[in-house]
């Protein structure tokens, strides 16, 4: 190796960015080249000097301003959950109402039983009872008000719904 090589490799050597083989080659060259050793020493001094100084201090109230402007992740998550629960409840209620007032017809859909209102009620009740525990796993539904909400749907009878077992 002569000195007509890429001198950038000296900085790369300092930074540990050379491959093991290349690092050995450069080091071997340095052993016999005083000029490159001097350059390496200058680069090392520059590196050390830069590391020894501190950056300009940020304004003292920067952190306070950031913290004041950042919404709490907890509040943000709760807000998102409320939105999701509201949407899901609305979907469940829509299904329930649809089951009572808009029974699907056609050969591809067969209501359980004899297709009477009891069958539709059974399907709607199944949908609501399946969806509600899924919701209650994610949020704390109020057992005092949720059954009242559900039994307000015409297809529901109050007796099968037990507060606290949703």
Summarize as ranges the residues that interact with other proteins (CB under 8 A): 7-8, 10-12, 15, 17, 42-43, 45-47, 49-59, 62-63, 65-67, 69-70, 72-74, 77
**CA atoms of 86 and 135, how far apart (whole Å):** 10
Q: Which is nearer to other proteins, 9 or 88 (CB)?
A: 9
Closest separation between CB of residue 84 and other proteins, Å?
Answer: 16
Q: Which is nearer to other proteins, 9 or 166 (CB)?
A: 9
Q: Contact 119/111 with Cβ under 8 angstroms?
A: yes
Q: Which is nearer to other proteins, 34 or 70 (CB)?
A: 70
Closest separation between CB of residue 7 and other proteins, Å?
Answer: 7
Q: Which is nearer to other proteins, 64 or 142 (CB)?
A: 64
Rounded to 5 degrees, φ, ψ at 160 are: -75, -15
């Amino acid at each position: 190796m002569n000195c007509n090589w890429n001198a950038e490799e000296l900085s790369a050597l300092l930074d540990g960015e050379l491959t093991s083989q290349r690092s050995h080659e450069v080091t071997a060259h340095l052993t016999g080249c005083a000029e490159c050793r001097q350059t390496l020493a200058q680069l090392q001094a520059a590196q050390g000097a830069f590391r020894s100084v501190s950056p300009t201090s940020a304004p003292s109230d920067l952190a306070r301003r950031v913290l004041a402007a950042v919404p709490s992740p907890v509040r943000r998550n709760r807000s998102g959950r409320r939105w999701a629960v509201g949407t899901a409840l609305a979907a469940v209620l829509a299904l329930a109402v649809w089951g009572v007032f808009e029974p699907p017809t056609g050969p591809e859909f067969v209501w359980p039983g004899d297709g009477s209102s009891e069958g539709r009620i059974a399907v709607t009740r199944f949908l609501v009872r399946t969806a509600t525990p899924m919701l209650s796993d994610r949020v704390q539904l109020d057992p005092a008000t949720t059954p009242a909400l559900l039994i307000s749907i015409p297809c529901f009878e109050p007796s099968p719904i037990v507060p606290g077992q949703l």
